[in-house]
Amino acid sequence: MKRTLSLLLALLPAAAAHEVVSYGTVSAEFHTDAGEGLRTGDDTLVGYRLTVAGKVIAPEACRCQLLLYPGKPSARVMPHVIELSPGFDDPQAAEGWVKVEAPGTYTLVLAGKPAHPGAFDPFRIEHVLNTKENTP
Amino acid sequence: MQKTAFSAKTLFLTSALALLAGLGLSSVSAQPADLSESRRAELGRELFYAPLLSSDGAVSCASCHQQVRAFTDGRRLSLGAFGREGVRNAPSLVNVAARTRLFWHGGSPSLELQALGPLSDPNEHDFRPEQTVQALRDDPYFVRRFREVFGAEPSLITLTQALAAFERTIVSYNSPFDRYSAGDASAMTESAVRGMDIFYGKAECFHCHVGRHFSDNRSHNNAFLLFNPDIGVAQLTDAEEDVGKFITPTLRNVALTAPYMHAGQVPTLEAVIDHYSEGGQPNPNADPLIRPLDLSEAEQADLLAFLHALTDETVATNPAWGPPPPRMETP
């Protein structure tokens, strides 16, 4: 039974492994088009979908900033500010393109405030990504 | 740029060590008993306005600390010798005697020590300590004045003592807020009173701008910049959590001291209030007290009125802090 379950998990598509990170009542489901990593030397689409108390909210309900730091977030480093637009496949998501040159670990920081006061608490969510070989 | 900053820092530290060593020696030497603080302050006032204490002979303390602007200069970043631009906004000197951590990064515990920073900074007075002392010793008027006040030729120690003595006289507690606090209910407008309630209530500004001086003398990262190349307190500690932290400035006379923040990056008080109302930028070291306040336009206007009520109009006009009378040269 255990072996069957492991096999099934291994065969699940990458999309099913999107990481969900929470801060209070807010949860962000992150995804990238490079299988939960970043391609070096090429554009990677990164995005997120927000839920508040389990209910999906539209991107315009949050004044969000999505930042990418090399390594861990540091006040000594200017992050890449990702320009966001509504998701192409999922209008409830927000997404943007990033391009990293150096292999290694990066951290996405999603910082948000409610567009309408009181809708949810301000949040700051971090999600670590690793680079992947850019294979044709 | 980094090289300049390093050399300025090195020069300051060297000067500071020289001063500390000197102060140590002076503690075992006999000091004339009749040295009064007021006489030191009179001399300090003359030195404060003296451009001879700079490498180009054009920059005095008063160049960046102008009385009409509550001893700031109205510039985003101050200009020093030969028109060189510094890296930080000139802080106000009003009630500076009450401050225990001077400079935006809080690196000096005393006014005497602090004075060495701008004197030796290449982007400010640009004078090495020995040049500063020599310039005073080459001036017969100041040689006489130092003898009158200190009974000795000009030195780095007595120079900073005199400057500090003058700065300690710049005291202001006569704003509408002070009069209101003393019981004059008509001293502040209704809008300013509402603004005071917001200041101490909904906006919770008092956590950092606390007490009579509206400063906690502590350092905070106020989330003004997503990234700040000026690392602030971390210059001294090198600690990651101190990157981008600066000492809380006083709010007294704040309506006279635009532009705002350590780099003068915020042009108006309205913009400052708007920033805090919005909850700041997601700087990794942002103070957790900074959160969206969602102040209405009316609340922002009231808060602004309160900040204006912290202005003591006499600060800009008190002749005791203005340029000294013309020199009385020795016949």
User: Residue B66 pLDDT > 60, yes or no?
Assistant: yes
- CA–CA separation, A98 vs B286, rounded Å? 25
Q: Give the pLDDT mean for A46-67.
A: 95
Six-digit token string for B233: 């307190």
Spatial CA neighbour of B255 closest among B305, B207, B322:
B305
Which of chain B's residues have a Cβ under 8 Å away from the Cβ of A73?
284
Question: How far, CA to CA in Å, does B55 sit from each of A110, A117, B77, B127, B232?
Answer: 49, 55, 19, 5, 27
User: Residue B141 pLDDT > 90, yes or no?
Assistant: yes
> Residue type at B79?
L
Cα angle, residue B11 at apex, residues B170 and B98 outer, rounded to 5°: 20
* Dihedral of alpha carbons A30, A35, A40, A43, sign: negative
In a domain, A107, yes or no: yes
User: Residue A13 pLDDT > 70, yes or no?
Assistant: no
In a domain, A1, yes or no: no
Q: Return the higher-pLDDT residue of B57 and B33.
A: B57
The model scores a pTM over 0.90: no
Q: What is the pLDDT of residues B172-191, one digit of tens each?
A: 999 999 999 999 999 999 99
Parallel, antiparallel, or unpaired: how do β-strands A43-52 and A26-32 relate?
A: antiparallel
Contact (CB<8Å) B282/A74: no
Q: Give the pLDDT mean for B248-259.
A: 97
In a domain, A33, yes or no: yes
Report the chain A residue with the minimal C-alpha distance to residue B290.
Answer: A122
Range of the domain at A86: 24-132
Work out the end-to-end distance of chain A between its first and last CA atoms, rounded to an integer number of angstroms. 38
Six-digit token string for A113: 């405030």
For residue B71, how far is the Cα from the chain centroid? Answer: 8
Report the chain A residue with the minimal C-alpha distance to residue B295.
Answer: A117
In a domain, A10, yes or no: no
User: Residue B165 pLDDT > 90, yes or no?
Assistant: yes
Mean confidence (pLDDT) of chain A = 86
Which of chain B's residues have a Cβ under 8 Å away from the Cβ of A114?
292
For residue B286, how far is the Cα from the chain centroid? Answer: 23
- Strand, helix or coil at B247? strand
Residue B13: the pLDDT is: 45
Q: What is the pLDDT of residues A21-42, one digit of tens each?
A: 999 999 999 999 888 899 999 9
Whether this model's ipTM surpasses 0.85 comes out as no
Number of domains in chain A: 1
* CATH code, domain with A101: 2.60.40.10
- Quick one: what percent of chain B has pLDDT higher than 70? 88
Confidence band (pLDDT; 50, 70, 90) for B19?
very low
Question: From the CB of residue B1, how many other CB atoms can be counted at a distance below 10 Å?
Answer: 7
Contact (CB<8Å) A75/B278: no
Contact B298, B202 (CB under 8 A): no
Which of chain A's residues have a Cβ under 8 Å away from the Cβ of B221?
75
Residue B3: the pLDDT is: 38
Mean confidence (pLDDT) of chain B = 89
For residue A104, how far is the Cα from the chain centroid? Answer: 17
Task: Find the largest Cα–Cα distance for chain B.
Answer: 67
Q: Return the higher-pLDDT residue of B272 and A14.
A: B272
Q: What is the pLDDT of residues B266-305, one digit of tens each?
A: 999 999 999 999 999 999 999 999 999 999 999 999 999 9
Q: Give the pLDDT mean for B194-204.
A: 97
In a domain, A9, yes or no: no
The residues with which B57 forms a beta bridge, in sequence order, are none
In a domain, A72, yes or no: yes
In a domain, A3, yes or no: no
Residue A43: the pLDDT is: 94
In sequence order, what DSSP letters do the residues of A15-84 get, joined into one string? GGG--EEEETTEEEEEEETTTSEEEBTSEEEEEEEEEETTEEE-GGGEEEEEEEEESS--TTSPPEEEPP
Six-digit token string for A27: 């949860």
Spatial CA neighbour of A109 closest among A92, A123, A94:
A123
Confidence band (pLDDT; 50, 70, 90) for A80?
very high
Contact B175, B182 (CB under 8 A): no
User: Residue B22 pLDDT > 80, yes or no?
Assistant: no
Any chain B CB within 8 A of the CB of A73?
Answer: yes
- Quick one: what percent of chain B has pLDDT higher than 90? 84
Any chain A CB within 8 A of the CB of B219?
Answer: no
The residues with which B66 forms a beta bridge, in sequence order, are B72
Least confident of A17-26, A44-53, B161-170, B241-250: A17-26
Residue B218: the pLDDT is: 96
The residues with which B185 forms a beta bridge, in sequence order, are none
Taking each helix axis from N to C terminus, what angle separates B129-137 and B111-120, rounded to the nearest 10 degrees?
Answer: 90
Taking each helix axis from N to C terminus, what angle separates B37-48 and B156-167, rounded to the nearest 10 degrees?
Answer: 100
Report the chain B residue with the minimal C-alpha distance to residue A109.
Answer: B282
In a domain, A29, yes or no: yes
Residue A117: the pLDDT is: 87
Nearest by CB to residue A75, choosing from B221, B278, B279, is B221
Q: What is the pLDDT of residues A94-136, one digit of tens each?
A: 999 999 999 999 999 999 999 998 899 999 999 999 998 765 5
User: Residue A15 pLDDT > 90, yes or no?
Assistant: no
Contact B125, B53 (CB under 8 A): yes
Six-digit token string for B51: 């451009």
Residue B14: the pLDDT is: 42
The CA R_g of chain B, rounded to the nearest whole Å, is: 21
Contact (CB<8Å) B292/A65: no
